[in-house]
Amino acid sequence: MTNLVEIRDLKVAFDSVPVLHGIDLDVRPGEALGLVGESGCGKSVTWLAALGLLPSKASVSGRVTLGDTDLTGAPRTQLEQVRGGRIAMIFQDPSSALNPVLKVGRQLCEALKLHRGLTGKPAKQEALRLMDMVGIPDARGRFALYPHEFSGGQCQRLMIAMALAGEPDLLIADEPTTALDATIQAQILDLLVRLRAEMNMATVFISHDLGAVAQVCERVCVMYAGRIVEQGAVGQLFDRPRHPYTRGLFDALPRLDGPRVALTPIQGTVPDPRKLPAGCAFAPRCTHARDFCHGERPDLLAQRDGRHLACAYPLPEAPAAREDVHAPREGVHP
Amino acid sequence: MITFVLIRLVRAVVTVLAVMTFAFVVLRMSGDPAQVLLGPDLPQEAVDAFRKEWGLDAPLWQQYLSYFRAILSGDFGLSMRDRSPAIELVLDRVPATLQLTLPALLLKLGIGIPAGIYAALHRDSAVDRGVIFLAILGFTIPSFVMGLVLVLIFAVTLHWLPSGGIGTWQHALLPAITMSIGGIGILARFSRSAMIEVMGQPYIRTASAKGVRWQDVVRGHALPNAAVPIVTIVGFMVGSVISGAVVVETIFSWPGIGRLLIVSVANRDLAVVQCILLIIAAVMVVSNLVVDLLYGWLDPRLRAQPAH
Amino acid sequence: MTPVLDARDLVRIYQGRQGLFARPTPIRAVDGVSLAVHPGETLGIVGESGSGKSTLGRMLLGVDPAQEGEVRFNGCPLPAPKTPEWRALRARMQMVYQDPLAALDRRLTISVQIREPLDVHAFGTPAERDARVHDLMRSVGLRPDQADRYPHELSGGQRQRVVIARALATNPDLLVCDEPVSGLDVSIQAQVVNLLRDLQGGRRLAMVFISHDLKVVRNLCDRVAVMYLGRIVEDGPAERLFANPQHPYTQALISSVPEPGRPLETRVILQGEPPNPAKRPPGCAFHPRCAIATDICRAKAPPLRATAPGQTAACHHVTGAPASQAA
């Protein structure tokens, strides 16, 4: 199957400090891909760079292609067609992501006009349908309200409705539930999963919440310090993480069941992008690191079990008894 | 909404009253009009007669009460110099002042805001740095220095424009420019920072991410948000259309309210000074009121929310 | 044993304003909350935004006065705010907030800031204070060479350690933590959680841990109180409450936590919006979102009733017997 989006050797630097060190990433049509990592690892920057949404002080290199279109270096008008039209994006803090001085209906209709040429009454009809679809109660009555008159969860629903307005092939959801309350998070995750199935649209789900990623995604990339360190099917990766960093993320999480014991944190902190370690960026915090790791940086290489891994001394592959981890787990695939 | 306007109106009236009271007291404490107007060598009887005639012999609170009674019946007093009604003297000068301040205001808005917005959108470019530099220059150089420099260049050296007086539009050009330069600088800096702040907001990124053309992001999404802080400064500038002319009118011998104020203060012409201050305060208060109402119009978050 | 903290029927009413022009309406942010914390015990308070959990935290410390009810600290009522007695009591009870950068002064080095409460409460001799700062830094995992750093030179996790060290400086009996790990990345969050665990074990410190992160609360707390619209709807021992939640809201809340390995379809997804304290529904405040609500729920607010030893829930439909599990 041809890829919907191909990212090749994408690099980003802010004020000549590199923050993204050459990302290779494919998104297949209709798939749900998760990007996981801690703040500053470059998971959001990757997609902001791909869509040309970074501030002008950022220097971007590499290649991003969407079908036959090369997005890097594309003229602004062409990018504007892609944004919202073929690739839509929603963000972390929904309450501040909507324009506070414009009525929500107008913000929705703007997207409909841009990408589907709808104006006037048909635009309003369609906007109301979208509001209905994302679960805004009394859409007609609330069409002419301002964003501050909606709760955070409803603002995120409105953002999603706006993203769907252009009937995109790909929805990038950048930490879409982080700012929301637990019960509302669950609603939004549920909505995203449902809409992806209904609209047959690929989703990139950017999150630091491993649990949420596990529920929404089929494939996961784990990023650390501007690089992908492990990539694979969600069941495989979550059942048996092989990069020590991925493993560390799981161990650091408290659980809702089992004994209440001390957690296993990853020691130290994320490196300053201006002072990256010479070898593997994770080596200073890694309990498995050896001399090699401090001097040489491992490349992201395909493994026998199908995943990609950037580690010289990874955790062992699944033992024979657990070969079935290759198969996706129940409930993950829709 | 109505209560809000009423509260603001009451506050406005109180402010004007406070200004009038303050002016009344300070003017009477700061020098004797009789001494100033009649000269120091007059016999005591003449001074007493003058005081009696103008009611200056009564206790301060009595003077104050009768002043207010008069104002409420529309009597703003007579000028001590030529005994003509003070309010007429003042109102006669208003058109001349507006001939300077209104063009100056248009210059401030027309140059300051676009320059600031352009600079914000081209942050750290040569143009941006140039705008910042000129803006700082503009509002740090006092208007009397600026006025004299302009006179030196355009009137004395080049002989393009008259150096003072009133008459043709050429006469108004130099004073209006002088008056506008500081405001242009302030507005440029302010608009720039307001716009930079807004352009960094998440909803601007949202607009770009949904494919809105860059020009429309700026026009349709950023400007309406940046308008709120800019309106504050503009409101202040509108409020000072009368009072802002004092220095410039003096430099260019422009027969407006500002010059009348200087002369009247020097002469302790009480009724005239009070009239001018009253008008200045009223204009300032009204423009503040308008700004407050504009906020609600510009930013829906400040409006009343119906319960839903 | 006397509880360190004993709160009875606390009520806090704010005058809320919906807009610039609107009339203020009274909002009952905390509405009749009673709880007790014993020495060495950690009480978790969970709830969504608008549940009143942060307000409650401030009330427990006497920072936000209660309109009704009473807080007793070591058996004595809290003195009035800003009095000398109240200030002296600050040394005995401390607070840790979510944003450590806001809680620290950016112009002072961290050792100066950790030392500050020692100076304020005249703790020992200057030399003893220096030694204590050194001990405190080591006990929260800061290196001695970091003493002269400024807050902005530290990472988020290190800053939170500084705040905790400062809170511990006067050897308090009670620590109230309001979302102390929420702004931190997963790996760092675990470091701070472990630090708090060490403190529990080490010094019989009583702790109130306010958080929306149920996993952290379960890991750290002995007992948990679940708040909804200013009231406690369920409370009990952490392990039992999470394994066997009784109140439908608690069930939904626990079910909503995304966990690797738990498919989305099996989760209870609560409909409706998070509660708005300004528009409190009549009867049981949870009834508009509750799947099992009946007429009585719409009419009458349920009291807290024992469902198991040490566990209570406020729901008309909960019996003493263990109910169905959501998790």
Number of domains in chain A: 2
Q: Please check whether residue A236 lies inside any domain of the structure.
A: yes
Best mutation site among A101, A140, A162 for testing chain B: the one with the most B CBs within 10 Å?
A101
CA distance A29 to chain B (A): 20
Q: How far is CA B62 from the centre of its chain?
A: 32
CA distance A284 to chain B (A): 35
Beta carbons of A187 and C271 less than 8 Å apart: yes
Structure confidence at residue A318 (pLDDT) = 61
How many CB pairs below 8 A link A and B? Answer: 83
Non-local CB neighbours of C137 within 8 Å, separated by 6+ positions: C110, C111, C114, C143, C144, C146, C147, C165
The answer to whether C238 touches C224, Cβ cutoff 8 Å, is yes
* Chain A residues touching residue B124 (CB < 8 angstroms): 57
Question: What residue of A is the nearest CA neighbor of B224?
Answer: A101
Tally of CB atoms within 10 A around B255: 14
Query: Closest Cα to residue C288, out of C221, C229, C218?
Result: C229
Same domain, A206 and A307: no
Q: Please check whether residue A230 lies inside any domain of the structure.
A: yes
Structure confidence at residue A326 (pLDDT) = 41
B83 touches chain A (CB under 8 A): no
- Residue ranges making up the domain that contains A13: 5-217
Q: Please check whether residue A333 lies inside any domain of the structure.
A: no
Domains annotated on chain C, with CATH: 5-92+172-313 (3.40.50.300), 99-171 (no CATH)
Q: Which helix (H) or strand (E) holds C219?
A: helix C214-220
B5 touches chain C (CB under 8 A): no
Same domain, A143 and A238: no
Q: Please check whether residue A332 lies inside any domain of the structure.
A: no
* C-alpha neighbours within 13 Å on the C-beta side of residue C183: 15
Same domain, A86 and A166: yes
| Residue with tokens 């992806």, as numbered in its chain | A196
CA distance B289 to chain C (A): 15
CB nearest A214 (choices: C49, C261, C327): C261
Tally of CB atoms within 10 A around B141: 15
* Chain A residues touching residue B220 (CB < 8 angstroms): 102, 110
Same domain, A189 and A285: no
- CA–CA dist B259, B164 (Å, integer): 13
| Residue with tokens 């806090």, as numbered in its chain | C12
Q: Please check whether residue A203 lies inside any domain of the structure.
A: yes
Burial A266-292, CB ≥16 within 10 A → b, else e: beebbbebeeebebbbbbebbeebeee
Same domain, A210 and A256: no
Structure confidence at residue C188 (pLDDT) = 82
Structure confidence at residue A114 (pLDDT) = 94
As for the ipTM of the complex, it is 0.87
* Residue A219 clears pLDDT 90, i.e. is over it: yes
Beta carbons of B304 and C19 less than 8 Å apart: yes
Same domain, A190 and A317: no
CA distance B124 to chain A (A): 10
CB nearest B211 (choices: A83, A97, A102): A83
CB nearest B202 (choices: A82, A93, A163): A93
**Phi and psi angles of residue A117, each rounded to the nearest 5 degrees, phi first:** 65, 20
* Chain A residues touching residue B308 (CB < 8 angstroms): 142, 145, 149
The answer to whether A151 touches C274, Cβ cutoff 8 Å, is yes
- DSSP secondary structure of C93-152: EEEE-S-HHHHS-TTS-HHHHHHHHHHHTT-S-HHHHHHHHHHHHHHTT--GGGTT--GG
Domains annotated on chain B, with CATH: 19-72 (no CATH), 93-302 (1.10.3720.10)
Structure confidence at residue A281 (pLDDT) = 94
Q: Please check whether residue A62 lies inside any domain of the structure.
A: yes
* C-alpha neighbours within 13 Å on the C-beta side of residue C133: 21
One digit per residue, the tens of pLDDT, for chain C of length 327 reads 789 999 999 999 987 665 555 567 788 889 999 999 999 999 999 998 888 999 999 999 988 888 899 999 999 998 888 888 888 888 899 989 888 888 899 899 999 999 999 988 888 888 899 999 998 898 888 888 888 999 988 888 889 889 999 998 888 999 999 988 887 888 888 988 998 888 887 778 899 999 989 999 999 999 999 999 999 999 999 999 999 999 999 999 998 888 776 666 777 788 887 777 888 889 999 999 998 999 999 999 999 999 988 899 999 998 754 444 443
Under DSSP, is residue C211 helix (H, G, I), strand (E, B) or coil? Answer: strand
Q: Please check whether residue A317 lies inside any domain of the structure.
A: yes
CA distance C144 to chain A (A): 16
Tally of CB atoms within 10 A around B109: 19
- CA–CA dist B224, A25 (Å, integer): 39
The answer to whether C180 touches C98, Cβ cutoff 8 Å, is yes
- Chains in contact with B, where contact means 3 or more Cβ–Cβ distances below 8 Å, are A, C
pLDDT band at A333 (very low <50, low <70, confident <90, very high): very low
* Chain A residues touching residue B210 (CB < 8 angstroms): 83-84, 88, 110-111, 114, 162-163, 165-166
Same domain, A198 and A108: yes
What are the start-end ranges of the H helices in B30-83? 33-38, 44-53, 60-72
Sheet holding C76-77, edge to edge: C25-37, C5-16, C68-73, C76-77
Which one of A198, A217, A236 terminates a domain? Answer: A217
Same domain, A176 and A243: no
The answer to whether A333 touches A259, Cβ cutoff 8 Å, is no
Same domain, A200 and A156: yes
SS3 for B240-306, per residue?
CCCHHHHHHHHHCCCCCHHHHHHHHHHHCCHHHHHHHHHHHHHHHHHHHHHHHHHHHHHCHHHCCCC
Same domain, A84 and A212: yes
Best mutation site among C48, C244, C264 for testing chain A: the one with the most A CBs within 10 Å?
C264
A146 touches chain B (CB under 8 A): yes
CA distance C23 to chain B (A): 9
Same domain, A90 and A155: yes
Non-local CB neighbours of A243 within 8 Å, separated by 6+ positions: A222, A229, A230, A282, A309, A310, A311, A314, A315
User: Helix, strand, coil proportions of chain C in percent (round to 5)?
Assistant: 35, 20, 40
Structure confidence at residue C224 (pLDDT) = 96
* Residue A334 clears pLDDT 60, i.e. is over it: no
Which one of A193, A217, A241 terminates a domain? Answer: A217
The answer to whether C194 touches C227, Cβ cutoff 8 Å, is no
Provide the residue type at A130 as one letter.
L
Mean pLDDT of chain A: 89
Structure confidence at residue C276 (pLDDT) = 79
Best mutation site among C20, C46, C140, C186 for testing chain A: the one with the most A CBs within 10 Å?
C186
Question: What residue of C is the nearest CA neighbor of B4?
Answer: C21
Non-local CB neighbours of B197 within 8 Å, separated by 6+ positions: B226
CATH number at residue A47: 3.40.50.300
Beta carbons of B307 and C21 less than 8 Å apart: no
The answer to whether A9 touches A22, Cβ cutoff 8 Å, is yes
User: For the purposes of burial, counting CB atoms within 10 Å of the CB of B53, is it exposed (0-12), middle (13-18) or buried (19 or more)?
Assistant: exposed
**Phi and psi angles of residue A103, each rounded to the nearest 5 degrees, phi first:** -65, 145
Reported as a single tens digit per residue, the pLDDT across A42-82 is 999 999 999 999 988 899 999 999 988 899 888 888 999 99
Which one of A189, A217, A245 terminates a domain? Answer: A217
* C-alpha neighbours within 13 Å on the C-beta side of residue C165: 27
Structure confidence at residue A324 (pLDDT) = 41
SS3 for chain A, per residue?
CCCCEEEEEEEEEECCEEEEEEEEEEECCCCEEEEECCCCCCHHHHHHHHCCCCCCCEEEEEEEEECCEECCCCCHHHHHHHECCCEEEECCCHHHHCCCCCCHHHHHHHHHHHHHCCCHHHHHHHHHHHHHHCCCCCHHHHCCCCHHHCCHHHHHHHHHHHHHCCCCCEEEEECCCCCCCHHHHHHHHHHHHHHHHHHCCEEEEEECCHHHHHHHCCEEEEEECCEEEEEEEHHHHHHCCCCHHHHHHHHHCCCCCCCCCCCCCCCCCCCCHHHCCCCCCCHHHCCCCCHHHHHCCCCCEECCCCCEECCCCCCCCCCHHHHHHHCCCCCCCC
Flag residues of chain B having pLDDT under 50. Answer: 305-308
Same domain, A97 and A27: yes
Non-local CB neighbours of A257 within 8 Å, separated by 6+ positions: C242, C243, C327
- CA–CA dist C200, C174 (Å, integer): 11
